[in-house]
Each structure stands twice: as structure tokens, then as C-alpha cells.
Amino acid sequence: MRLILASSSPRRRRLLSQTGLDFDIIEPAIDESRREGEAPLDYARRLSREKAEAVAAALDASPALILSADTIVALATGADGIAEDGELLEKPRDAADAGRMLRALRARAHYVITAITLKRIGRPERVITRHACTTVTMRDYSDAEIAAYIDSGDPFDKAGAYAIQNEVFRPVARIDGSYSNVVGLPLGEVKAALRDIGYRPREGA
């Protein structure tokens, strides 16, 4: 069965490549606006489903399995450890917005949530949506380091305005949970979901 990654993110492409699976890429086109009153976890799960559905609508009826994902950064959590309220830090609009986010995250913990959806086209059709949550504590970086990082251009396509894997800025002091989730695709959850949906790699994978 053909596996399709519904993502424009080069980081997700690299992570999925680490599994050794053969996959194609189709970038979804959806409105990613958050609905009024929508809880962060609900928001991430909805977007992951809508990305999969958008790609499915563009395909013919041949069997395929679509993998999509959406990652959010949240400053607050509910009692169960999953963000329910508080500010979301999405992709920064500009340098000033990136600086605001990085200062808000400095020397404190926040939460990175990635929702994944697997949508199987063909019989039997099936959809699985799951999520991973990682607690991330940032180091006490300086204003000068923030400015240099923003000047590098790296923050602008990333939720929360940072990349954990950036080897120059190195913004993170420690994490509790999946590292690959913070990069953008929780590989443990992806592999488990692939097994549960009965995925069999196509020949040559």
C-alpha cells in the first residue's frame, strides 16, 4: 500500500525517512486558523485530520495510507498534563513576534503537542488520530542570543519560534517525553499507529 506523508515540513520528511519506510509527499492545503474557544489539543487533532482529508480528496480511489501531523506549543496545561487553556505559540509573524515568544519561553517549561492522523483509503477505510505531549524546559539564554537566532532566520517556520535541534542556539535545557515529537513527528506513536492500522509497506520499501 502506498504511504503518503501529508506535510510541507522538511523536518517531518527527515524523521519519517529514519523509519526506513518508502513514502511519497503531497502537501495539504487547508485553513489552519484556530476556532474561537477551541482547546489546544482539539485544535491540533482537528488540523491533523483535516490535512489527511485534504490530501485524500485529491487522490483517486486506489489504496493508500495518508499520514498527517500538526504540532503546537502551549504555555499552560490542564490537570491531566495536556494543554487546555493559556496561550499558544504558533509560527511567528515577524522578528518582533519571534522575540516575544522566545522571551516568554526563556528559563521555563512549556508543552509541545503533536497530533497525528492515519487515514486509509480503500477497503476497509479507517482513520486513527493520536497525539504525543512533551514537556520542554528552556535554558536561560540571553537577549543577545535571541537576537542572533532571529537574525539566522531559523525561527520563522516553527511553532514557538525555535528548533530544538539547532546546534548554534541550543535553546532547550531538558525534555520529558519524545524528542522527535518536539522536532515535529513523534515516531513512537507513528510506528504504533501504523501497526494498529495494519499497514504493510509496498514492495521495494
Residue-wise pLDDT tens digits, 52-84:
999 999 887 778 999 999 999 998 655 455 545
| pLDDT-derived band at 86, boundaries 50, 70, 90 | low
Q: What is the model's pTM?
A: 0.88
**Active-site position among 70, 97, 151, 157:** 70
Mean pLDDT of 144-172: 96
65-to-2, 54, 179, 194 alpha-carbon distances in Å: 6, 13, 25, 9
Instruction: For 2-33, write each residue's pLDDT tens digit.
Output: 999 999 899 999 999 999 999 999 999 999 99
Q: For residues 20, 41, 25 and 91, what is the CA-based torsion angle, rounded to 10 degrees? A: -110
Highest mean pLDDT among 57-71, 85-99, 127-141: 127-141
| pLDDT-derived band at 87, boundaries 50, 70, 90 | confident
Distance CA 95, CA 150 (A): 6
176 in active site = no
Could you give all domains of the chain from N- to C-terminal order, each with its CATH number? 2-196 (3.90.950.10)
Q: Taking 80 as the threshold, does the pLDDT of residue 44 lie above it?
A: yes
Q: CB-based burial of residue 190 (10 Å sphere; 0-12 exposed, 13-18 middle, 19+ buried)?
A: buried
